[in-house]
Copies of this chain bind each other. A is one copy, B any other.
């Protein structure tokens, strides 16, 4: 049922070609500045000099622009439509954030600029640390981790350092079955053994199983709360008691923080370490898979081990130029008064560095702008509306297609919820995947599918707070229409999508014979032709 040749869209007509297949020998966009120094030969010994120049594209600027603009049009994006990708918090990305992040004072600031001449950046980072500490309910923050899973790794390494400092050798980390894949993967990379904890009938952690598996060999329990099922675990206090009882740490995967701001804080729940996904809760654009940032907040006992450097505020600076020269003269060019913020690298118990420099500052600028825009009231509103929207969609779907797509656990949800497509598969013969693909023809991005693994034919729906009721209704109507359509003719969904540039791709074949780069035609050593 693919569209008739003459009625295909231009995108469907045109074969995908890469930038390496475009252009022609000798074409170019870049023009080099003139050589303004006396040229010298053989600055690189020929043994070290590259023989064959890299075969990069040769294209004019108009070709490059058109190529990538057209590629962009083969993407679905959040600015164009509903994107209820569960666990990813696809909320509106304000353009103000792009504007302020692009200010040259932020965007062209070198990471090794003398702190006395980067006071604006350090002030911003310091203020952000304070704000995140208040939001997490934990006093100390490191902004360094580059994403959530990087934050997780930091958290487990902090746990290791904490125990090591107390002469303890622990070998296991507990993760519930509903945990995101990065949790167990992180545990392995950090050199611990993963111990899975079962879920109870309500979708929460099975306390008995937790008790049974918790002993002195356990270093940490990693928990997401609300969980990836969209359920807030009511037993969190008891879990904390159990885990802390054996001297282990409690790690909070902050990917779902969007559900509870203003209501409950990880610190209040008894967690020792938290990571934030700034690209989720704090609306850093997702960029097709990053960049993000995964700052961590920790309790006092973990603080000594935080990565270095930390941004600190100090009373005053000792001028480097003794001999009573003026602050200005002593500290070099200063802007906006004497410096008060600094980078503290002198942290003897620190786990060290997780990456270069001070973290993804450009992401911090956006997050800071977001927190300043919303304020306390706005952040609470975020969670309230996120939960309201999720429950509204859930309630409507129950009424419309509850029999085919039942809620996996419980009655209500927090900011997201998981449906099971098992009945639909059995009775209508279409899988969750088919439903997802058909949604594409309705101009919407499908929810997360087949995660969490504990639910058969899972559909994880997270509407977020920035969507309107009309959009939520349109989503429910689309799902209902697809289920209805499938009842009449399941083939339509099974072969969907139709209007997209390409349709159902052969993923198995791609993995069997991986073609992960374009094979380029060999070139003459002189690089010509």
Given the interface pairs A14-B443, A441-B13, A442-B13, the reply to whether A468 lies near B60 with Cβ below 8 Å is: yes
Within 8 A of B (CB), among A89-111: 92, 94-95
Within 8 A of B (CB), among A11-59: 11-14, 22, 24, 27
Copies of this chain, whole number: 2
A80 in complex: contacting residue of B9, B70, B81, B470, CB < 8 Å: B70
Interface residue? A66 (CB, 8 A): yes
> Could you tell me the distance in whole angstroms from the C-beta of A39 to the nearest C-beta in chain B?
23
B10 pairs with A1, CB closer than 8 A: no
Closest to A499 in B: B9
Q: Which residues of B contact A14 (CB under 8 A)?
A: 443
A12: nearest residue on chain B (CB-CB)?
B499
Given contact pairs A60-B466, A63-B468, A92-B61, A10 touches B442 in the complex (Cβ within 8 A): yes
Residues B92 and A79 in contact, CB atoms below 8 Å apart:
no
| A467 interface hit (Cβ, 8 Å) | yes
Q: Tell me which residues across on chain B come within 8 A of A79, comparing CB atoms.
A: 65-66, 69
A326 within 8 A of B: no
Report if A7-B3 is in contact (Cβ < 8 Å); known contacts: A79-B65, A80-B69, A466-B62.
yes
A162 within 8 A of B: no
Chain B proximity of A484: nearest CB distance (Å): 13
Asked if A517 is at the interface (CB within 8 A of a chain B CB), the reply is: no
From residue A32, how far is it (CB to closest CB) to chain B in Å? 14
* Complex contacts, A507 vs chain B, CB 8 Å: none
Let me know if A370 is at the binding interface, CB within 8 A: no
A322 within 8 A of B: no
Whether A199 sits at the interface, judged by CB under 8 Å, is no
Q: Given the complex, which residues of B lie within 8 Å of A443, measured CB to CB?
A: 10-11, 13-14
Most buried by B among A12, A13, A63, A468: A468
Task: Please tell me if the beta carbons of A6 and B468 are within 8 angstroms of each other in the complex.
Answer: no
- Given A80-B66, A468-B60, are A441 and B92 neighbors across the interface (CB < 8 Å)? no
- A498 at the binding interface (Cβ < 8 Å): yes
Q: Which of B6, B66, B442, B466 contacts A81 (CB 8 A)?
A: B66
Residues 440 to 464 of chain A near chain B (Cβ within 8 Å): 440-443
Please classify how large the interface on chain A is, using the bins under 10, 10 to 19, 20 to 34, 35 or more: 35 or more
Distance in angstroms from A407 CB to nearest chain B CB is 27
Q: Which of A125-184 contact B (CB under 8 A)?
A: none
Taken residue by residue from 459 to 479, chain A's Cβ proximity to chain B (1 for < 8 Å, 0 otherwise) reads as 000000011111000000000
- Rounded to whole angstroms, the CA-CA distance of A502 and B12 in the bound complex is 17
A470 to B66, CA, bound (A): 13
Closest to A23 in B: B468
**Residues of chain B within 8 A of A8, CB atoms compared:** 441, 498-499
Q: How far is the CB of A11 from chain B (nearest CB, A)?
A: 8
Q: Check B7–A94 contact: CB distance below 8 A.
A: no
Q: Is A515 an interface residue (CB 8 A)?
A: no
- Measured between C-beta atoms, what is the minimum distance from A434 to chain B in Å? 14
Contact B442–A62 (Cβ < 8 Å) = no
Q: Which residues in B have their C-beta under 8 angstroms from that of A427?
A: none
A66 / chain B contacts, CB cutoff of 8 Å: 79-81
Complex contact B498–A7 (CB within 8 A): yes
- Interface core residue of A4, A24, A66 (most chain B CB under 10 Å): A66
Complex Cα spacing A3 to B12, Å? 13
Closest to A466 in B: B62
Is A513 located at the chain interface by the 8 A CB criterion? no
Distance in Å from the Cβ of A379 to the closest Cβ of chain B? 16
CA distance A24 to B470 in the complex (A): 10
The answer to whether the Cβ of A426 comes within 8 Å of any Cβ in the partner chain is no
User: Nearest Cβ distance between residue A375 and chain B, in whole angstroms?
Assistant: 11
- Residues from 212 to 261 in A contacting B, C-beta threshold 8 Å: none
- Chain B: minimal CB distance from A309 (Å): 33
A389 to chain B, nearest CB (A): 12
A314 at interface, CB cutoff 8 A: no
Does A492 sit at the interface, judged by CB under 8 A? yes
Which residues of chain B have C-beta atoms less than 8 A from A470's C-beta?
Answer: 22, 24
Residues of B close to A81: CB separation below 8 A? 10, 66, 70
| Minimum Cβ distance to chain B for residue A19 (Å) | 13
CB neighbours (8 Å) of A94 from chain B are 61
Q: How far is the CB of A268 from chain B (nearest CB, A)?
A: 30
Q: Is A2 an interface position by the 8 A CB rule?
A: yes
A485: nearest chain-B partner, CB-CB = B6
**Whole-angstrom distance between the Cβ of A33 and the nearest chain B Cβ:** 13
Chosen A-B contacts, 18 in total, with CB atoms closer than 8 Å, are A3-B3, A7-B7, A7-B499, A8-B441, A8-B498, A9-B499, A13-B442, A13-B499, A24-B469, A60-B466, A61-B92, A62-B468, A63-B468, A65-B92, A66-B79, A69-B79, A70-B81, A73-B80
Contacts beyond the supplied A8-B498, A65-B79: 12 A-B pairs with Cβ under 8 Å: A3-B3, A6-B441, A6-B492, A7-B498, A9-B9, A10-B81, A11-B443, A24-B468, A24-B470, A62-B466, A73-B73, A73-B80
